[in-house]
Chain A
């Protein structure tokens, strides 16, 4: 038997809260935290980060300790150096990141569709653009946040160990942060667009992976048939890999600046458009 309150006091003042997009993003983060899928990815990303940091330290030892001098030449042949090394700070992580984005981003909009929560959101002071901004913001902020230590921690360690002559360029954050931002927005928009087409979170994961791998395969096939290298700019995985390289000055073997810009703009534009269309109020049924 429920126990009811004798009465309900008046609510505090409205319009004191955070913007709706921020509230939505915070709630998505709480949901993600509850899902506990971060354990595997957290471990994997941590191992990658430790490897990067360990390499900086080993490089420092090779440079400073005479005992390791014989190994220095060998290390130069096995490990990437110079500009390639700077770009490589992000690349391995970005591959695994696609799977995390698919797992998390695939359910971002689809879960609201499944639970039919979106119409109720629009019955509150939430505009469709707030909703879209929140989803895109969260889906883009997630990979950016994960990539952030990959750019900053090795740079910081290199500075501490060897100053400006360390293996990581002093200007690396200025180059990698924009690259990370572009890659993250690309991942986020693709995930949100794919998720908006799915009816369940699992289907959303399938949609993200299907779009990522499908467009990549399609681009590779067209490249193979026509020999036009610029078509590879449609491959989202390759784009995410290319941006750090382009920003640090390494010429990517498949994607140059123009195809990268066009391909990224195409993906961000089309998937944001799809998400906006699929989440507009006229699509909902009250």
Chain B
């Protein structure tokens, strides 16, 4: 779906490149693009849309080289939902969705019909003739999604689609994102700083900071790795020998106040009980650690700032992705992510959508 190598994008006004030598390959699916403000997410989207010409490196989106003369045609195959309110306030949702459809290449009549269909799909059937100036935030977000979908794109970029939504609206929007991929087979790039959103819908994850990819991998791998993490508490404090013996179970990430944070070698909780029986230690608490995606992000972004946060300190220099060699194991241990995206995001590791043709077929990849 998307591949780029050593991609560098530089704004003329600044000396520092906004994207610094990114190398990545993404298969069709829902890709979560995580990173703090200024990480380069929007710049990456701009470059992928062909609005910014890379100063170095190369890449392809849906098989079209970045910065090529055909990028205008490429954009008719891509839908884009911006973060901000890019709505024409004095027009109704129907008028503007039809307008965006026409701009994407639909005939006027077809665009009008299509506007009805797509507004119904996003749940704006009854309000479509009202000017959007009177819409709630949730409705406005759905209009933006509708305009991104009106021309049936092969790939959509969603920039913070749940911004400003209440929990219910957020759930509905994420349900729509899942439907877009599952029912329409559309590839989705979801840029967000909300980890919960990405965790809920994405099947691949890219963490970006300061113009560099800090980590990338499949969510399945991440979830599997996270499922191996447990917190153990014993009735009596463990002595030194028993603490050392904990390494039989896996890697101890932190020991604090009688609480042991472990990453198990095998995702088999029964082994913990066998170990406790063998060692004569009485377990009083075994807590699976499934909800620590935020720690993954923190570890990837701020390796130095995780002391005392329940995370294992990481080396001061995070591994560079463009060096294409495996990072030290402890760099992002427990995250399921490795900073070698091309290897990790092999087609056979990506989770294809049920109704999407498998991307393991190299001819299909070329066709994309």
> Are A and B physically bound partners?
yes
Q: Footprint of B on A, CB under 8 Å?
A: 2-5, 7-18, 20, 23-24, 27, 30-31, 34-35, 115-117, 119-127, 281-282, 284-286
B103→A20 contact, CB < 8 A: yes
Interface: B275 (CB within 8 A)? no
CB-CB < 8 A to A8: which residues of B?
117-118, 121, 149, 152, 183-184
Expressed in whole angstroms, the Cα–Cα distance for A2 and B124 within the complex equals 7
Number of chain B interface residues as a range: 35 or more
Some 10 contacts from A to B, beta carbons below 8 A apart, are A2-B142, A5-B121, A11-B106, A12-B107, A23-B99, A31-B88, A116-B84, A120-B86, A125-B104, A286-B42
A286→B51 contact, CB < 8 A: yes
Expressed in whole angstroms, the Cα–Cα distance for A124 and B95 within the complex equals 17
* Closest partner residue, chain B, to A15 (CB atom): B105
Expressed in whole angstroms, the Cα–Cα distance for A15 and B106 within the complex equals 6
Expressed in whole angstroms, the Cα–Cα distance for A219 and B289 within the complex equals 76
A16→B107 contact, CB < 8 A: yes
CB-CB < 8 A to A117: which residues of B?
86-88
Interface: B5 (CB within 8 A)? no
Interface: B110 (CB within 8 A)? yes
Q: If the complex has contacts A2-B123, A5-B120, A8-B149, are A31 and B75 also in contact, measured as CB distance less than 8 A?
A: no
A125→B82 contact, CB < 8 A: no
B106→A126 contact, CB < 8 A: no
Expressed in whole angstroms, the Cα–Cα distance for A124 and B120 within the complex equals 22
B99→A27 contact, CB < 8 A: yes
Expressed in whole angstroms, the Cα–Cα distance for A3 and B149 within the complex equals 18
* Closest partner residue, chain A, to B13 (CB atom): A282
A282→B12 contact, CB < 8 A: yes
Expressed in whole angstroms, the Cα–Cα distance for A59 and B17 within the complex equals 73
Expressed in whole angstroms, the Cα–Cα distance for A120 and B95 within the complex equals 16
- A18: contacting residue among B45, B91, B108, B113, CB under 8 A: B108
Expressed in whole angstroms, the Cα–Cα distance for A115 and B90 within the complex equals 10
Chain B nearest CB from A24 CB (Å) reads 8
- Bits for B97-119, please: 1 = Cβ < 8 Å to A, else 0: 00111111111101101100110
B45→A7 contact, CB < 8 A: no
Interface: B28 (CB within 8 A)? no
B121→A125 contact, CB < 8 A: no
- B49: contacting residue among A115, A123, A285, CB under 8 A: A123
CB-CB < 8 A to A124: which residues of B?
75-76, 80, 100, 103-104
- A126: contacting residue among B88, B103, B113, CB under 8 A: B103
Expressed in whole angstroms, the Cα–Cα distance for A116 and B88 within the complex equals 9
Expressed in whole angstroms, the Cα–Cα distance for A281 and B100 within the complex equals 18
- Bits for B178-217, please: 1 = Cβ < 8 Å to A, else 0: 0000011000000000000000000000000000000000
Interface: B243 (CB within 8 A)? no
Expressed in whole angstroms, the Cα–Cα distance for A74 and B99 within the complex equals 58
A119→B86 contact, CB < 8 A: yes
Most buried by B among A8, A30, A34, A35: A8
B100→A12 contact, CB < 8 A: no
Expressed in whole angstroms, the Cα–Cα distance for A31 and B124 within the complex equals 22
B73→A125 contact, CB < 8 A: yes
* Closest partner residue, chain B, to A124 (CB atom): B103
B106→A16 contact, CB < 8 A: yes
Expressed in whole angstroms, the Cα–Cα distance for A117 and B83 within the complex equals 12
Expressed in whole angstroms, the Cα–Cα distance for A124 and B104 within the complex equals 6
Interface: B85 (CB within 8 A)? yes
CB-CB < 8 A to B122: which residues of A?
2, 4
A10→B152 contact, CB < 8 A: yes
- A17: contacting residue among B108, B117, B183, CB under 8 A: B108
Interface: B151 (CB within 8 A)? yes
B76→A125 contact, CB < 8 A: yes
- List 9 A-B pairs, minimum CB-CB distance, nearest first: A2-B123, A11-B152, A14-B105, A123-B80, A5-B120, A12-B110, A120-B86, A8-B121, A16-B107
A119→B106 contact, CB < 8 A: no
- A14: contacting residue among B76, B100, B124, B142, CB under 8 A: B76
CB-CB < 8 A to B102: which residues of A?
17-18, 23
Interface: B125 (CB within 8 A)? yes
Chain A nearest CB from B174 CB (Å) reads 13
Chain A nearest CB from B121 CB (Å) reads 4
B72→A116 contact, CB < 8 A: no
CB-CB < 8 A to A7: which residues of B?
121, 183
